[in-house]
Amino acid sequence: MTLEQLWNGWRAQYIASAQSSNPRASTSVFTQILESGLSDIESNIVHRGQTVFAILNAFPYSTGHILVLPYREVTDLEDLDLAESAELWATVTQSVRVLKVSHRPDAVNVGINLGATAGGSISEHLHVHVVPRWNGDSNFMTSVANARTLPEPLADTARKIRAAWSI
């Protein structure tokens, strides 16, 4: 028997909470984090560039899941100016390099969801997912127990990634 569908039921609740928890509907959760006054350590920001930054996903698909996004809140790739676009993709590439040093994955997924229908749970603020993958990293926990198995706290992950960023 082959697996034809893998249900990820917890995502619907997360998407709904992300949309309803935004007290200022015109501002994304990423902009709220940037404006919060929290330190990079408290907010799990692992890199700041001139026009973009990298932050750990608070609801990661796997340990080391990085989001790369512009400071400026835009919804589509074509909304980026040339400097933002160049730095965004350079930072995505650097994120892959960093994860290969910090976590030694077998592979890396890089993806972007443009619009809510494409799967973008925070579609008002463009972000690129950089997700390390390991052979055998899929398990049944998400589909049967509505839980993720993540072997490392976000703070430890952030520390490893920050250390590898300068390499």
CA distance 167 to 162: 10
Query: 3-class DSSP state for residue 14?
Result: helix
Q: Cα–Cα–Cα angle for 99, 101, 106, nearest 5°?
A: 65
Sign of the torsion angle spanned by Cα atoms 96, 70, 57, 163: positive
Stated as kind and residue range, the H or E segment containing 110 is: strand 107-112
Active site residue 127: yes
Stated as kind and residue range, the H or E segment containing 132 is: strand 128-133
Which of the following is catalytic: 47, 103, 125, 127?
127
Catalytic residues: 127
